[in-house]
C-alpha cells in the first residue's frame, strides 16, 4: 500500500475544509480589503460577510481536528520522518532541474523526491501558521499572548493572509502535478 487509509482520509477531508476556508476567507477579505483589490464574488463562498464568517468558523473545527489527527499520526507512526526527511540541498537542486526539464521519475510513488518533501513540509508549516494566526485574530482579547507573538492584531491579519497565499500557491502546483501524474492521484484515492 502506498498511502495508508488514515493518510488518504485526512488528506481529502483537509482538501475539502481548505477549499471552504479559502473561499469563505476571500469573502471575509472583500468586506474590508487589506490590499487594493478584491476577489471576484464568483469564486468566493458564503455570499456575504456574515455567511462567510459562519462557514469559516464551521469548517475551522473540521480543519483543526482533522489536521491534529494527521499531525499526531504522522509523528507517532514515523511517517513524517521517513517520507519527508532528509531534504538535502544537492538533491533539491537535482530534482528541481529534473522537474523543470520534465524528466522527474515517478516509478516509486512511495518515495517523495526532494521537491515534494520540501513542498509538503512547507505546506504543513503554513497550515500550522494559518491556524495559529487565525485563532489569534478570532480571540485577540482572550489570546493576547498569541496575538502579541504575531506582532499584534493587524500584523496577525497580514500573516493570516500571506499563509493563505502560500497555501493557494502550493495548491495550484500540487493539483497540476496530480493531474499530470494520474497514478499518484489514484494512489491517494485507492491507496495503491
Ligand atoms: C483555525 C483556523 C482559522 C481561524 C480561527 C480563522 C479565523 C479567521 C478570522 C477571525 C478572520 C476574520 C479577520 C477579520 O475580521 O478581518 C479570518 C479571515 C480570513 N481567513 Fe481565516 N481562520 C482560520 C483558517 C483559515 C484558513 C485555513 C484559510 C485559508 C487557507 C483562511 C483564510 C482567511 C482569509 C483569506 C481571511 C480574510 C483575510 C483578512 O481580510 O483579514 N483562514 N480568519
Ligand atoms: C483537490 C485538491 C487536491 C488534490 C487533487 C490533491 C492530490 C494529492 C495527491 C495525488 C497526493 C499524493 C501525491 C504524491 O504522490 O506526491 C497528495 C499528497 C499530499 N497533499 Fe494533496 N491534493 C489536494 C489538496 C491538498 C491540500 C489543500 C493540501 C494542503 C493544504 C494538500 C497537501 C498534501 C500533502 C501534505 C500530501 C502528502 C501527504 C503524505 O504523504 O502524508 N493537498 N495530494
Q: Write out residues with Cβ below 6 Å of ligand 1.
A: 18, 21-22, 25-26, 28-29, 32, 34, 56, 60, 63-64, 130-131, 134-135, 137-138, 157, 160-161, 164, 167
Of residues 76, 70, 45, the one with CA closest to residue 59? 45
For ligand 2, atom 27: residue with the closest CA: 15
Q: Which atom of ligand 2 lies at the shortest distance from residue 186's CA?
A: 10
Measured distance CA(39)–CA(59) in Å, rounded = 20
Query: Is residue 27 within 8 Å of 44, Cβ to Cβ?
Result: yes
Q: Is the pLDDT of residue 104 over 90?
A: no
If you measure from the C-alpha of residue 32 to the centroid of ligand 2, how many angstroms do you get, rounded to a whole number?
Answer: 31
C-alpha 55/C-alpha 25 separation (Å) is 9
Per-residue pLDDT tens digits for 13-70: 999 999 999 999 999 999 999 999 999 999 999 999 999 999 999 999 999 999 999 9
pLDDT in tens, 119-147: 999 999 999 999 999 999 999 999 999 99
pTM beyond 0.75: yes
- In angstroms, the CA 160 to CA 172 distance is 19
CA gap 186, 192 in Å, rounded: 7
* Distance from residue 106's CA to the centre of ligand 1 (Å): 36
Cα of 10 vs centre of ligand 1, distance in Å, is 21
Of 101-105, 109-113, 114-118, 150-154, the one with minimum mean pLDDT is: 101-105
Q: What would the grid cell of residue 48 be?
A: 456575504
Q: Are 69 and 147 in contact (CB under 8 A)?
A: no
Tell me what the pLDDT averaged over the chain comes to: 97
Q: Is the pLDDT of residue 191 over 90?
A: yes
Residue 59 near residue 131, CB atoms below 8 Å: no
Query: 10: pLDDT confidence band, cut at 50, 70 and 90?
Result: very high
Indicate if the pLDDT at residue 102 is higher than 90: no
Amino acid at each position: 500500500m502506498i498511502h495508508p487509509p488514515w493518510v488518504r482520509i485526512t488528506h481529502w477531508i483537509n482538501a475539502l475544509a481548505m477549499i471552504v476556508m479559502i473561499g469563505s476567507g476571500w469573502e471575509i477579505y472583500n468586506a474590508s480589503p487589506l490590499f487594493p483589490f478584491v476577489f471576484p464574488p464568483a469564486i468566493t463562498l458564503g455570499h456575504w460577510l456574515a455567511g462567510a464568517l459562519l462557514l469559516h468558523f464551521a469548517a475551522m473545527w473540521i480543519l483543526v481536528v482533522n489536521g491534529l489527527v494527521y499531525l499526531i499520526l504522522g509523528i507517532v507512526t514515523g511517517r513524517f520522518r521517513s517520507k519527508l526527511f532528509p531534504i538535502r540541498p544537492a538533491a533539491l537542486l537535482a530534482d528541481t532541474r529534473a522537474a523543470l526539464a520534465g524528466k522527474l521519475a515517478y516509478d516509486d510513488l512511495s518515495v517523495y523526491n526532494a521537491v515534494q518533501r520540501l513542498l509538503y513540509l512547507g505546506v504543513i508549516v503554513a497550515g500550522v501558521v494559518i491556524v495559529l494566526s487565525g485563532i489569534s485574530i478570532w480571540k485577540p482579547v482572550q489570546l493576547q499572548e498569541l496575538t502579541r507573538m504575531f506582532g499584534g492584531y493587524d500584523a496577525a491579519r497580514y500573516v493570516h493572509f500571506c499563509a493563505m497565499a502560500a497555501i493557494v500557491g502550493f495548491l495550484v502546483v500540487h493539483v497540476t502535478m496530480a493531474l499530470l501524474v494520474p497514478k499518484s492521484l489514484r494512489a491517494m484515492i485507492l491507496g495503491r
